Amino acid sequence: MTLRKKNSGGPLVYLLGFTGVLCMGIAVAGLLGVFAPSGKAPVAKVEAVDEPVVVETIPIVESVAAEQKAVANTSSADKVVDTYYPLEVGRYWVYVSEDAERGTRTEVERRIVRRESRADQELFYFSDGTVAFREDDKIFEMGPEGGVNVIPTGAEPYVYRSEGLHIEKQIGNLDTVMILGQQRYSHCVQVVTRFRPVDQPEQEMRAYASYYARGIGLVGRELWPPSPGSAPTQTLRDYGPRKM
Per-residue model confidence as pLDDT tens for the chain (244 residues): 334 444 444 433 333 343 443 444 433 334 333 333 334 444 444 555 544 333 332 333 333 334 334 433 433 444 445 689 999 999 999 999 988 777 889 999 999 999 999 888 899 999 999 999 999 889 999 999 889 999 998 888 999 999 999 999 999 988 999 998 889 999 999 999 999 999 999 888 999 999 999 999 999 999 999 888 788 889 999 999 986 6
Whether the link from the prior residue into 152 is cis, omega within 30° of 0, is no
Q: Does domain 16-35+61-240 have CATH number 2.40.360?
A: yes
- What is the structure's pLDDT at 26? 38
pLDDT at 209 (0 to 100): 96
Overall pTM surpassing 0.75 (yes/no): no
- Would you list the DSSP string of 158-225? EEEEETTEEEEEEEEEEEEEEEETTEEEEEEEEEEEEEEETTS-GGG-EEEEEEEETTTEEEEEEESS
**How far apart are alpha carbons 163 and 143 in whole angstroms?**
11
Q: What is the pLDDT of residue 28?
A: 35
Going by C-beta distance under 8 Å and a sequence separation of 6 or more, which residues neighbour residue 50?
A: none
Residue 75: predicted pLDDT? 39
Q: What pLDDT, on the 0 to 100 scale, is given for residue 56?
A: 33
- What's the pLDDT score for residue 161? 95
Helix H or strand E segment including 15: none
Q: How many CA atoms lie within 13 A of 46 on its CB side?
A: 25
Domain extents for the chain? 16-35+61-240
What's the pLDDT score for residue 145?
87
Phi-psi region of 198 (alpha: psi -120 to 50; beta: other; left: phi over 0): alpha
CA angle centred on 107, ends 176 and 125, rounded to 5°? 80
8 Å CB contact between 214 and 187: yes
Question: Which amino acid appears at position 84 of this protein?
Answer: Y
Q: In angstroms, what CA-CA distances link 103 with 24, 78, 99, 100, 134?
A: 20, 39, 6, 5, 36
Q: In terms of residues, how long is the chain?
A: 244
**What is the model's pLDDT at position 244?**
61
